[in-house]
Chain A
Amino acid sequence: MTRVFFLYDVLRLDEKMLLERLRSLAEVEPIHVSSSILEIGGYAEADIALQRSISFYRAMSSTVAVESWGVRVINNSMALALAEDKAWSLSVLYRNKIPVPRTLLAYSIDSAVEASRKLGYPVVMKPLMGSWGRLAALASDEEAVRAIAEHREMLGSMYRVHYVQEYVDKPGRDIRAMCIGDEVPAAIYRVSEHWITNTARGGRAEPAKIDPILEDLVIRSCRALGVEVGGVDVVEDPERGYLVLEVNAVPEYKNIARVTGVDVAAHIARYVVEQARR
Chain B
Amino acid sequence: MPVLRCPVCGNPVEVPEDAMPGELIEHDCGVVLEVYRDSNGNLALRPFEGVQEDWGE
Interface residues of A (CB under 8 A from B): 8-11, 15, 30, 32, 34-35, 54-57, 129-132, 134, 231, 248-252
Contacts and interface: CB of A to CB of B under 8 A. Distances in A.
A32 B21 contact: yes
Contact of A250 (B34, B53, B57): B57
17 contacts: A9-B22, A10-B24, A11-B20, A11-B21, A11-B24, A30-B20, A32-B22, A32-B36, A34-B21, A35-B21, A56-B56, A129-B54, A231-B57, A248-B57, A249-B57, A250-B56, A250-B57
A55 B34 CA distance: 15
A131 B55 contact: yes
Interface string B17-52: 000111110000000001011000000000000001
Contacts of A57: 54
A196 B53 CA distance: 18
Contacts of A11: 20-24
B20 A130 contact: no
Contacts of B54: 55-57, 129
Given A34-B36, A35-B36, A10 B56 contact: no
Secondary structure dominating the interface of A: loop
A105 B46 CA distance: 42
B56 A34 contact: no
Interface of B: 20-24, 34, 36-37, 52-57
Nearest to A8: B22
Contacts, number: 53
Nearest to A252: B57
Contacts of A10: 22, 24, 34
A9 B52 CA distance: 12
A55 B20 contact: no
A11 to B, nearest CB: 4
A54 B52 CA distance: 10
Given A10-B24, A30-B20, A32-B20, A134 B56 contact: yes
A250 B54 CA distance: 12
Nearest to B22: A11
B56 A131 contact: yes
A8 B53 CA distance: 17
CB-CB nearest 6 A-B residue pairs: A131-B56, A248-B57, A32-B21, A11-B22, A56-B54, A11-B23
B56 A132 contact: yes
B36 to A, nearest CB: 5
A129 B3 CA distance: 40
